[in-house]
Amino acid sequence: MIRHYLTFAHEALLLDEGLRGWHLAECWSQEKNALVLRFIQGRESRFVEVALDPQLGYALMRDEIHRARRNTIDFFGGLLGEQVTGVTIDEGERAITIHFSGGDELAIFFFGGGGGNILLLRDWGVIDSFTKYSGEYDAIISGRAEHDVRSPDDLRATIRSIHEPPSRALTRAIPELGKRLAAEALFRRGLVGAAALHDLDDATLDALFAEIDQLYGAAEASETFYLYHLPDEVIFSLVELRSLELQAVRVETFSRLDRAVRAHRSASFHGRSFAALRDRIFKRLTTERTRLERSLANRLDSTSQQKKGEDWESQGTLLMSNLQLVEKGSAKVTLTDWEGQGREITLDARLTPVENAERYFRKARGARDSMARGSAGIQRNRRTLERIAGLLERAAAATGSDELERIEQENKDLFTMTAEAKEPGTPERFRKFEVAGGHEVYAGKNAANNDELTVRFARPNDYWFHARGSSGSHVVLRWSDPKSKPPRDAIRGAASIAAYYSGARGAKMVPVAYTLKKHVRKPRGAAVGAVMMEREEVVMVEPKLPPGSSDDV
């Protein structure tokens, strides 16, 4: 329920109680999808933290938030000094609005393309925004969004028209309920095992609707907030969820919404980290298993190699038995074997007949040696496959990141990726641009191409760029003078390219880290495209390409 309308309604109520009569003093961002507002009254300050994360967004008061000295960007300057007259939430919508004395409104939307957006409204129109705005909230802003009022007869008819499992049918019939409250209502009415809802009688459905009304009312008035720690996720709730009690490893209760929401956010980030680590281990082990199984199949299929060795041995023997018939300088010769069959043998014209025979004997010995090595390799592959099977079971049973990290540390040979030797990168393999001053800039096209650009193509004194806190292209600004730094416009131009080819491309401004290439390294065992910077500077730039550049270079 962390993104449920009722959760945001509780947040709006807390903001209304805490901000009425206070004046907006600052509004800034220092990380992606997050905005900080500082309000003042006399000498006192109050902070509001707005997080637009797609799964974990919120707008909550904070006692203190430190503003970084550098790499922050201010927003909504026209609102500074305005007094808050109230905070409301649009009925049924995940949209909180802060109202100011001058008539302007700051509307915070927690849905839409991406994580959401923050819009400055005046006279029902958008005059500024936190990230680029494409009109997706216009219907809500203008008051045109529709919210149906349905009678019990309408709800019964809707449910009976949906032939799906009970929980899904209920959330489709009453979307504002949400899946957690829907599952809880079904559990409390003893309908979890029901095959469907569409064939229930009116009395049973009416009792279910009454249970839903009671749950919804309890969530609206809740003063206790719950965190259910399940094996694979953490669930936030405004009400007690009896349906999860047996599944939960641990249940926490909070008397303050802000503490519950932030505890959920912290636990969820930890869970994401654990899931990402486990996924990485599974991917690496299954990839290695597939490679070894393919290699084992090839080695077990030794019939063709054995036949080649026997054939080369017989050709060498036939040549030695008929040296007088082989002319030096010939490219081939036809000889009669011991079964009376004519055999055409290819020769190296530069070699004598004896040397040609020895060449075939060497090839035969090579085939035999390869088969011997293959036998040892078969045993080695089988042992490694057994080891991988055990590690996969161990990873599947792990309950914490510590155990997964031990698996990686104890089996570095399986998790250290050995890159294939490649030719040095050439400029044509990367996106190429020209920034202010005519300086060349190169951008990677994917993870492997990023590695090639950084590890093989970039020179030690080139400047290296990457969007901070976001996935994206590695970007290299060519620079050969170790005693000077590129012009500021060239650095900002290269940084804008890195921001453009990043996951933060939709933001107005993006923090981009940069450093000399010699301060960038790729740790042993790092994933494709992953590197580390030993030192960095950060610049805030708009995601864009140089004038006249094409996105398809």
Query: Are both 327 and 234 inside the same structural domain?
Result: no
- The three-class DSSP label of residue 16 is helix
> Which residue type is seen at 414?
L
Whether residue 294 lies inside any domain: the answer is: no
For residue 147, which phi and psi values (nearest 5 degrees)? Answer: -130, 110
Same structural domain, 242 and 345: no
Q: Do 201 and 137 share a structural domain?
A: no
Q: Is pLDDT of 226 > 90?
A: yes
Name residues whose C-beta falls within 8 Å of residue 361's C-beta, 6 or more positions apart in sequence: 312, 313, 316
Range of the domain at 368: 300-415
* Assigned domain for 284 exists: no
Give the span between the Cα atoms of 287 and 297, in whole angstroms: 16
Give yes or no: residues 455 and 411 share one domain: no
The contacts found for 176-180 with CB under 8 angstroms, 24 or more apart, are 176/5, 176/92, 177/212, 177/216, 178/1, 178/4, 180/1, 180/4, 180/235, 180/237, 180/241
Together in a domain, 205 and 325: no
Residue 287 domain-assigned (yes or no): no
Note the pLDDT of residue 61.
Answer: 93
**Beta pairing partners, 301:** none
For residues 514 and 535, is the Cβ–Cβ distance under 8 A? no
Task: Return the residue matching tokens 């011997």.
Answer: 372
Residue 265 domain flag: no
In the chain, the N- to C-terminal Cα span, in Å, equals 44
The three-class DSSP label of residue 477 is strand
The 10 Å CB-count burial string (b at 16+, else e) for 44-79 is: eebbbbbbbbeebbbbbbeeeeeeeeebbeebbeeb
In sequence order, the 6+-apart residues with CB closer than 8 A to the CB of 101 are 82, 83, 84, 85
**How many residues appear in the chain?**
553
Mean pLDDT of the chain: 87
Within-domain flag for 131: yes
Instruction: Give residue-wise pLDDT tens across range 78-111.
Output: 999 999 999 999 888 899 999 999 999 999 999 8
Assign 541 to helix, strand or coil: strand
pLDDT of residue 372: 59
- The top-scoring range by mean pLDDT among 158-167, 293-302, 408-417 is 158-167
User: Same domain for 131 and 164?
Assistant: no
User: Both 157 and 227 in a single domain?
Assistant: yes
- Partnered with residue 159 across adjacent β-strands are none
Both tokens assigned to 364 = 């035969």
| Domain's final residue, options 415, 450, 470 | 415
- CA–CA separation, 158 and 169 (whole Å): 9
What are the tens digits of pLDDT across the range 117-155? 999 999 889 999 998 888 888 888 887 666 666 788 888
**Residue of 494, 486, 489, 487 whose CA lies nearest to 513:** 494
If asked whether residues 86 and 59 sit together in one domain, one would say: yes
Checking phi first, is residue 488 left (phi over 0); if not, alpha (psi -120 to 50) or beta? alpha
Q: Are 263 and 252 in contact (CB under 8 A)?
A: yes
Q: How far apart are CA 236 and CA 23, in angstroms?
A: 32
CA distance 510 to 67: 17
Q: 3-class DSSP state for residue 483?
A: coil
Please compute the mean of the pLDDT values over residues 367-387 and round it to a whole number. 75
Give the CA distances from residue 416 to residues 27, 215, 453, in Å, rounded to whole numbers and listed in that order: 45, 52, 20
- Check if the beta carbon of residue 437 is closer than 8 Å to that of residue 455: no
With beta carbons less than 8 A apart as the criterion, state whether 96 and 6 touch. Answer: no
- 118, 141, 164: which is the final residue of a domain? 141
Q: Which residue has the higher pLDDT, 44 or 196?
A: 44
Rounded distance between C-alpha atoms, residue 464 and residue 485, angstroms: 13
Residues 6+ apart with CB under 8 A from 36: 26, 27, 28, 29, 30, 47, 48, 49, 50, 65, 67
Closest listed residue to residue 3, CA positions, set 168, 253, 180:
180
DSSP state, 462? S
Q: How far is CA 177 from CA 167, 213, 264, 285, in A?
A: 11, 10, 21, 42
Residues 6+ positions from 124 with CB-CB distance below 8 Å? 141, 142
Q: For position 26, which CATH number holds?
A: 2.30.310.10
Q: Kindly report, residue by residue over 270-285, the tens digit of the pLDDT.
A: 666 677 778 888 888 9
* Residue-level pLDDT at 273: 65
240 and 201 belong to one structural domain: yes
User: pTM of the entire structure?
Assistant: 0.56
Question: Dihedrals φ, ψ of 401, to 5°?
Answer: -65, -30
Query: CB within 8 A of 10, min separation 6: which ones?
Result: 222, 238, 257
Most confident of 48-57, 362-371, 379-388, 505-514: 505-514
The percent of residues above 90 in pLDDT, for the chain, comes to: 43
91 neighbors 10 (Cβ within 8 angstroms): no
Domain check: are 134 and 23 in the same one?
yes
Residues 386 and 468 in one domain: no
| Residue 364 falls inside a structural domain | yes
Question: 462 and 393 in one domain?
Answer: no
Instruction: Output phi, psi for 61, to 5 deg.
Output: -75, 150
pLDDT digits (tens, 9 = 90+) for 452-488: 999 989 999 999 999 988 889 999 999 988 888 999 9
- The answer to whether position 308 is within a domain reads yes
SS3 111: coil
Q: Kindly state the average pLDDT of the residues 183-188.
A: 94
Give Cα 224 distance to the centre of its chain.
33
The enclosing H or E element of 495 equals helix 488-500
Number of domains in the chain: 4
Choose one of 363, 388, 415: the last residue of a domain: 415
What pLDDT digit, counting tens, does each position of 7-32 carry? 999 999 999 999 999 999 999 998 88
- Residues 6+ away with beta carbon under 8 Å from 318: 335, 337, 343, 345
Residue 178 lies in a domain: yes
CA distance 495 to 261: 35
